[in-house]
Amino acid sequence: MTKTKTALITGVTGQDGSYLAELLLGKGYHVHGIVRRNSDFTSKRIDHLLTRPDFVTSYGDVVDSSSLHSLLVEVKPVEIYHLAAQSHVGVSFQIPDYSAQVNALGTLRLLNAIKELKLDCRFYQASTSELFGGLPETAPQSESTPFTPRSPYAIGKLFSYWSVRNYREAYGLHASNGIFFNHESPRRGKNFVTKKISQAVARIKQGTQDNLRLGNLDAERDWGYAREYVEAMWLMLQQPQPNDLVVGTGVRTSVRRFTELCFAEIGIVLEWSGKGVSEVGRDKKTGKTLVSVDPVYFRATEADLLQADPRRANEKLKWKPKTDVAKLAQLMLRYDLAHEDYGFPDEA
């Protein structure tokens, strides 16, 4: 009889953690998720899994070494997916110290516990396109593009990237960095731009919101669908050798264009006028202003253009994203028209 594999997920209550838990459970893993203490329950995205005998959660926190150490001893996972992070780039400018504690030292704490316990496991690090800083001259960005992080978030993640490589080299850990470009879904946190837009457009259609205020409309991102991307995480840990791979669609889209795509889903064509902070998007038919710019959402330093060159991962993992940005906008918008909050069954 084959022994059931146990996977440990940090960040299991997040967007990716919830999809990854579903994927691994579907593959017959026992899944153990680490949940941090908050002032209320944060399990909305995994509530539908909580009654399963093969899905267990424990309190823990990546700023607390003792909890990580105890959990590794107890769970003895064969695969660890380290997804926990203060994942908001904009917010990281306001809480830089905390962001470093979580995004940089959190990874080191886990890697060091694995080393100290001589745990025989494979390790996935949720690395990010933000390492590249979005300097337009570097796009599209591949594994060999120089890193130029431009936020406390990205600088913390750069520390983690190099910690993974160092522990791999120094101690022979099967540890990999998934350098993932933006991936979104109906489960995306509501203060990330795609979800903010899709939710606002749904509410404008339903008459419960008047307009939408955004920051930098010119920023360009390589947006894919999170439900698909978690399979690339799993595939990375099934490779005989650990590796660092860029995962993305290879297509770039501006925030302005994503906004247009969402409004198009409710039959509204936007017409843009003005420049910079005075730019507005109006309903072509009625002339009503639906989108305006609010500098409160600008970042002190911005990643202007992130676009993946994912050829290496496509080849090594025999994997490619299927959902393009127009389809992504459509599925997010349709979900938000039908649901005010996360809920299950969802878009599957």
Alpha-carbon gap, residue 238 to 79, rounded angstroms: 10
Any contact of residue 182 with ligand F7E (CB under 6 A)? yes
Neighbours of 154 (CB within 10 A): 25
Active site residues: 128, 130, 153
Any contact of residue 129 with ligand F7E (CB under 6 A)? yes
State the nearest-atom distance from the C-beta of 102 to ligand NAP, in Å.
5
**DSSP for residue 231:** H
Any contact of residue 62 with ligand F7E (CB under 6 A)? no
Name the one range near ligand F7E by CB under 6 A: 30-38, 53-61, 273-281, 297-305. Answer: 297-305
State the nearest-atom distance from the C-beta of 188 to ligand F7E, in Å.
8
Alpha-carbon gap, residue 90 to 158, rounded angstroms: 17
Any contact of residue 282 with ligand F7E (CB under 6 A)? no
State the nearest-atom distance from the C-beta of 75 to ligand NAP, in Å.
15
What is the b/e burial string over 257-296, where b = at least 16 CB atoms within 10 angstroms of the residue's CB? ebbbbbbbbeebebeeeeeeeebebbbeeeeeebbbbeee
Residue 62 partner contact from ligand F7E, ligand NAP, none using kind-dependent CB cut-offs of 5 to 8 Å: ligand NAP
Any contact of residue 214 with ligand F7E (CB under 6 A)? yes
Which residues have CB under 8 Å from 257's CB, separation 6+? none
Whether the CA torsion 105, 83, 326, 193 is positive or negative: it is: negative
Alpha-carbon gap, residue 211 to 234, rounded angstroms: 40
Residue (130 or 260) nearer to ligand F7E, CB: 130
- Return the structure tokens found at 198: 């899709």
Residue (21 or 126) nearer to ligand F7E, CB: 126
Query: Contact 15/85 with Cβ under 8 angstroms?
Result: no
Alpha-carbon gap, residue 6 to 76, rounded angstroms: 7
Q: Considering only residues 130, 228, 260, 346, which one is a binding residue for ligand F7E as defined by CB under 6 A?
A: 130
What is the binding site for ligand NAP (CB under 6 A)?
10-11, 13-17, 34, 36, 38, 42, 61-63, 83-87, 102, 126, 128, 180, 182-183, 189
Residue (34 or 217) nearer to ligand NAP, CB: 34
Closest residue to ligand F7E, judged by C-beta, is 219
Residue (153 or 263) nearer to ligand NAP, CB: 153
Residue (78 or 226) nearer to ligand NAP, CB: 226
Name the one range near ligand F7E by CB under 6 A: 22-30, 62-70, 124-132, 316-324. Answer: 124-132
Nearest to 266 by CA among 212, 315, 229: 212
Nearest to 313 by CA among 187, 224, 253, 210: 224
What is the contact surface with ligand F7E in residues (CB under 6 A)? 87, 89-90, 128-130, 181-182, 191-193, 196, 214-216, 219, 221, 255, 297, 299, 302
